[in-house]
Amino acid sequence: MSMIRTQIQLTPEQSNKLRRYARARGISLAEAIRRCVDAALEAGVSDRKVLYVRAAELIGKYADRVGSRDLSRRHDLYLADAYRP
């Protein structure tokens, strides 16, 4: 596997945490950084299908306090009313 050399700057706290992380696992600091980057990138990536399923699960979950039935058509008016002083 080829590697690309890069240089980063860390706060003292980040550096200390990374060093402790690496020491606890018996790995190099570079490997610790690679693992943390991989974990952060994987956590931030969501399958679009999963997002749609999660959004669909919310439909009808919360009661409309006002009883509006035309929110999809009049959402701009409701939003303007909500922000009106």
Tokens coding 54: 């999660």
Angle at 82 between CA 81 and CA 85, to 5 degrees: 80
Provide the CB-side half-sphere exposure for 48 (13 A, CA).
0
State which amino acid sits at residue 9: Q
pTM of the model: 0.52
For the chain (length 85 residues), average pLDDT per consecutive 10?
A: 92 96 96 94 76 78 69 76 78
Asked whether 10 and 30 are in contact (CB, 8 A), the reply is: no
Tokens coding 68: 């509006």
Neighbouring residues of 23: CB distance < 8 A, sequence distance ≥ 6: none
